[in-house]
Structure 1
Amino acid sequence: MLALRTLLAHVVDYAGLFPPAGLAMAPAARLYAAYRGGDARWMLGRFVVPVARLEELEAATSAILPVNAEPPDAPEPWTLTALVGPEAESDLRAVVAFNARHAPGAEGGRAVIDALEARAAVPDDVARLADALARAGLRDRATLYVELPFGAAAAPFAAVAAAKGVRLKLRTGGVTADAFPPPAAVLDFLAACERHDVTAKCTAGLHHPLRAEHALTYEPGCARGTMFGFVNVFLAAALLRAGHASADVAPLLEERDPAAFAFDDAGASWRGSRVDVATIADARARRLVAFGSCSFEEPVHDLTTLGWWPSHTPA
């Protein structure tokens, strides 16, 4: 099923440090290292870490980061997404220093922060963060994703992001029911990115392929809520990219029936709406590129349970 693989290749940015998993640095790093060598590594993206915890990451990974070696034996470096805090200028300097320490040839292994995430309260913050990125000398070295405030209309942020050449990020859930935006807000975000030609990612609440009710944390007896499905969201972005109208795509975000979907080597279908593999690839490259998840195993397990992907798949 080339279409499904294209839709989901390297789609999960592993955020095991964050709720509801909330792992300590060492076990989260060990899991990421194991996932990099596992059968499902084709779905794995970057390791997500706050800039404030980079030194902790270095200490925890000193023995497991890829070691420098001559090709063809050199392993691929770890690619990292670093979360920038309120003091953006100092955090960006820390990113530059980290990359210098872990560049190919540097002692201690190879890793690179090639994606950054920061939060905006108003559209002008997008421009401010983009300018800070340029001043730090990172504009051509790292991709910046700016997270919208919860409940904000996407279009004003997308307009600034397009003008400044940066990307956007939408929070699609959390550990409480009120952390999940309504489907209309997700569609508004996807449609705004399509109109303004802005690339984006999502984070939180996308552990499962299809929309359904799930436990909101891993605590026994915890509250349950309705979560978005990552297949729903990413296929919606692909259909919008293919020219389907927002009104026609809207019901897809609430689709719960696996039988409504079909994937083959030529494309994907949902209730008669079709998108080809080339457009899916374009949507993944230029529109919606990844989602952050504190679990990598849940998305993989659920795809296997649905019968949409074998339990053992080569990279």
Structure 2
Amino acid sequence: MPHLLAGLVDDAAVFPPGSATLPDALAAHRRHRDSWYAELVGPLLVPASAVVSGALAGALGGPAGAAGGPAGPAAPGDDSAGGGLAVGLIGDTGVGGLPAALAALPAGVTARQVEVAVAKRGEDPLPGLTALLGLAGRSGGVAFYAELPLTFGLTGALDAVAAARADGAPVAAKFRTGGLAAELFPTPVELAAVICACRDRELPFKLTAGLHHAVRHRDPETGFTHHGFGNVLAAALAAADGAEVDEVAAVLAATDPVPLVERARAARAADRPLWVGYGSCSITEPLTDLIRLGLVNGGHDVRARHDVSAGQDVDGGRDA
């Protein structure tokens, strides 16, 4: 697995439209983490509500509601930290419900990251962001991602996150790149502006929703045009090299995979700049695209075909 792609895809199997049960998602995640492509896979993303309710503990085989408290932040790529499972908490409970979820983590489960929307579209993000920054400052080094709407107050929110990060808080940004309505899909120029704004602030970011395939495409069922995760990867590389918004937007708008692949191949041994990764209901779908584009060698291991197909029983084929 090229170093550039390490930890690119978080496992969001339990979220719509995949909506796997927690037991099925846990079983599939363990297979992914034991596969030849394990380095591609980030933590299993779990709703905070499933932790508080005891559903995660029950799926792990313990009594519902059994909790050992957070075992500490997990090292990147390490599911054995604390003797068990590294997860990413998705704050469906809101910022206010996160302390209870962190405290209710089952024994042996570590929170590698916490992701939560701090405001709805059109709302001022600063009150929710202020609450999240306060929590991040007392949570033992777990990485926090503030999901910011690409509307009112974005610049001020980015400034606040960047300032907190510069002061040592383990915080970064997260943005939505799709959904059930056309307005949830940012244009290439809008997304390019956000990427460049993060670059200018030395601020890592995550993305969620809409990144169904490697290359920009139109979904024939919905009519929505989706960003490609390969486009985003190439755009992040371009931005890190100093490209401005118009050039980054052109990379995001490209539908020819060749220049995207060439840029990624040239950086395959490098750290991935700016873009931390994204959550996907399917691990096999992005992996298949990467193999088809020649960015991952899927034929070098005799287990490859078996391992890829083994994850398809719960993968929904869509991003969270």
TM-score above 0.5, yes or no: yes
Counterpart mapping for 1:1-315 below 5 A: 5-54=2-51, 55-62=54-61, 75=80, 77-98=84-105, 101-102=106-107, 110-121=108-119, 122-124=124-126, 125-134=128-137, 137-138=138-139, 140-152=140-152, 154-165=154-165, 166-214=171-219, 222-263=221-262, 268=264, 276=267, 280-281=270-271, 283=273, 287-312=274-299
- C-alpha separation in 2, matches of 1:37 and 1:238: 29
SS in 2 for 1:168: strand
SS in 1 for 2:252: helix
Q: 1:168 touches 1:201 (CA, 8 Å); kept in 2?
A: yes
SS in 2 for 1:201: strand
Name stretches of at least 5 consecutive residues in structure 1 with no aligned partner. Answer: 64-73, 103-109, 216-221, 270-274
- C-alpha separation in 1, matches of 2:227 and 2:153: 19
SS in 2 for 1:118: strand
Percent of paired sites with the same residue: 28
Q: 1:153 touches 1:188 (CA, 8 Å); kept in 2?
A: no
SS in 1 for 2:219: strand
Larger strand fraction of residues = 1
1:224: Cα distance to partner?
A: 4.1
- C-alpha separation in 1, matches of 2:267 and 2:250: 20
Letter in 1 for 2:149: P
Q: 2:95 touches 2:131 (CA, 8 Å); kept in 1?
A: no
1:12: Cα distance to partner?
A: 0.4
Classify 1:300/1:180 alpha carbon distance in 2 versus 1 (closer, same or farther; 3 Å).
same
SS in 1 for 2:224: strand
- C-alpha separation in 2, matches of 1:195 and 1:231: 22
SS in 2 for 1:155: helix
- C-alpha distance after superposition, 1:99-132 (max 9, x if no partner): xx42xxxxxxx32112001112224122221113
Q: 1:154 touches 1:189 (CA, 8 Å); kept in 2?
A: no
Q: 1:151 touches 1:185 (CA, 8 Å); kept in 2?
A: no
1:149: Cα distance to partner?
A: 1.7
Q: CA RMSD, aligned part only?
A: 2.5
1:297: Cα distance to partner?
A: 0.9
Name stretches of at least 5 consecutive residues in structure 2 with no aligned partner. Answer: 63-78, 166-170, 305-320
Q: How many residues align?
A: 272
Classify 1:131/1:75 alpha carbon distance in 2 versus 1 (closer, same or farther; 3 Å).
closer
- C-alpha separation in 1, matches of 2:157 and 2:213: 28
SS in 2 for 1:311: coil
- C-alpha separation in 1, matches of 2:134 and 2:80: 34
Letter in 2 for 1:238: L
What TM-score results when the alignment is normalised by the length of structure 2?
0.77
- C-alpha distance after superposition, 1:151-200 (max 9, x if no partner): 44642221010112221101111244443221122112111111111111
